[in-house]
A and B are shown apart, each in its own frame.
Chain A
Amino acid sequence: MSLLVEVQHRLGGFRLDVRVEIGPGLTALVGPSGAGKTTLLNVLAGIVRPTHGVVRLDAEILADTTAHIWRAPHRRRIGYVFQEPRLFPHLTVWQNLHYARWVQPNVPKTLLPADVIDLLNLSALLARYPSRLSGGEKQRVALGRALLGTPRLLLLDEPLAAVDQTHREEILPYLDRIRAEHAIPAIYVTHTWKEVAGRADHVVELGQGRVAFEGSVADAEARRNA
């Protein structure tokens, strides 16, 4: 997988101006609050239409403002786990997990619901409604729901931000298992260096809407310690 992003976006007084290429594996997207991390993910997912620029995933152009190309979010097959779980409150866990297969029957089914349920340890939760889940359980379901859309790229926007400390430690091993067993390229936004230090293949740091650093985890660590 290769993702090329070259976009400018204005949102009120904020200006995102990013040029970055992202390869396979896990990319950590770090930077202070208001640096534009979520906005960048929204541009990649197609939720936000950039004022100007190009987004290309492998050979497919997802957005090109000069050529007037725009691929709607539902045609991108980019999975998104948001800061809040955003589960469908009127559907059970089982129905939430099957949602992607239900709305797009033709999606390649490389991942089976049974495997994802097993991987994320969800079997005891299937009949429940989201309101009957803890924060950590909700995020696990959200992760499983995104995986079952068979994404070409997975966006994780501080998926542990709304989860309390004890449950964070519970979820991280699941992320490792997904990484180990299914080589889905992912961009992981976080404030907590510890979450990505041993996991990321690549680090991109944003600051005030621009790329402040891009490189290996070792370089990023050296930079942090400097």
Chain B
Amino acid sequence: MTDWTPAELQAVWLSLKVASVAMAFSLVPAIGVAWVLSRHRFWGRSVLNTLVHLPLVVPPVVTGYALLRVFGQRGVVGAWLLTHGGFQFSFRWTGAALAAGVMAFPLIVRAVQLGIDNVDRQIEEAAATLGASPWKVFLSVTLPLALPGLVAGLAIGFAKALGEFGATITFVSNIPGETQTLALAIYSQLERPGGDGPAMRLAWLSIGISVLALFASEALSRSLRHREP
């Protein structure tokens, strides 16, 4: 199990890069949406809620197809980005990160929302009477107290992004070195005669990475609990 081929290492590296970038770009919007859903009752709230959760219930291939229609080279946003910014999602690792981010988004939002729901609003009121504007209340009280939810959201989101398959292969195809993440590499090996052994190696590898990520998040949330006796 020790001699990893360059192609395998490339798939691992690409998966970690895609999942990390997906998390980095999803986190702030996810926190914003979670806060709005947790703290506000407004017209259209259920529409927003449904929209956010859509990737969770729709077949991933449909999400991938939707991404292709919107962010593909001929998609509304994709075409604009290509002509105005020279930026391309389709068939690039950036597209894989976008697909992973969209698929993980509802999971992050749910965890963060739960974290914010658990923050005592009376403590936020106390902060306001001490002169903290709503924005400062959010940064100094709500967010730190919701940190366990945030960590949980990132862990589950990262794991989801790492293993995303359907939306990714539909949107950015399966290009070794560019969009072929671990999950897609396993799929490719299984399609190939005699690829059973390599597929098994990659499967173990992906299990190992996921378990490691879960351990890391568990350790992090435990250290947070310690800091906050």
Size of interface on B: residues with Cβ below 8 Å to A = 22
How many angstroms from the CA of A123 to the CA of B130 in the assembled complex? 21
A99: chain B residues within 8 A (beta carbon): 127, 130, 132, 140
How many angstroms from the CA of A82 to the CA of B125 in the assembled complex? 10
Q: Is B198 an interface residue (CB 8 A)?
A: no
**How would residues 77 to 104 of chain B score, 1 for a CB under 8 Å from any chain A CB and 0 otherwise?**
0000000000000000000000000000
Q: Is B141 an interface residue (CB 8 A)?
A: yes
Total inter-chain residue pairs, C-beta < 8 Å? 78
Contact A74 B145 (CB under 8 A): no
Contact B229 A73 (CB under 8 A): no
Contact A107 B144 (CB under 8 A): no
Question: Which residues of chain B in 139-154 are interfacial with respect to chain A, using CB atoms and an 8 Å cutoff?
Answer: 140-141, 144-145
Which of A72, A79, A89 makes the CB contact (< 8 A) with B228?
A89
Contact A88 B123 (CB under 8 A): yes
| Shortest Cβ gap from B147 to chain A (Å) | 8
How many angstroms from the CA of A149 to the CA of B128 in the assembled complex? 11
Q: Is B126 an interface residue (CB 8 A)?
A: yes
Which of A46, A76, A103 makes the CB contact (< 8 A) with B132?
A103
Main secondary structure of the interface of B (DSSP, over half): helix
Contact A129 B140 (CB under 8 A): no
Q: Is B2 an interface residue (CB 8 A)?
A: no
Q: Is B45 an interface residue (CB 8 A)?
A: no
Q: A131-B229, A132-B229 are in contact. Are A86 and B130 (CB under 8 A)?
A: no
Q: Is B50 an interface residue (CB 8 A)?
A: no
Q: Is A37 an interface residue (CB 8 A)?
A: no
Which of B133, B136, B228 makes the CB contact (< 8 A) with A90?
B228
B133: chain A residues within 8 A (beta carbon): 72, 74, 103
How many angstroms from the CA of A90 to the CA of B228 in the assembled complex? 6
Q: Is B131 an interface residue (CB 8 A)?
A: yes
How many angstroms from the CA of A90 to the CA of B175 in the assembled complex? 47
Question: Which residues of chain A in 131-163 are interfacial with respect to chain B, using CB atoms and an 8 Å cutoff?
Answer: 131-132, 145-146, 149
Closest A residue to B132 using CB positions? A103
Contact B128 A86 (CB under 8 A): no
A84: chain B residues within 8 A (beta carbon): 122
How many angstroms from the CA of A131 to the CA of B228 in the assembled complex? 9
Q: Is B223 an interface residue (CB 8 A)?
A: no
Given A102-B140, A103-B127, 5 additional A-B pairs, CB 8 A: A74-B134, A82-B126, A99-B130, A100-B131, A146-B129
Where the two chains meet, the residues of B that have a C-beta atom closer than 8 Å to any C-beta of A are 120, 122-123, 125-134, 136-137, 140-141, 144-145, 227-229
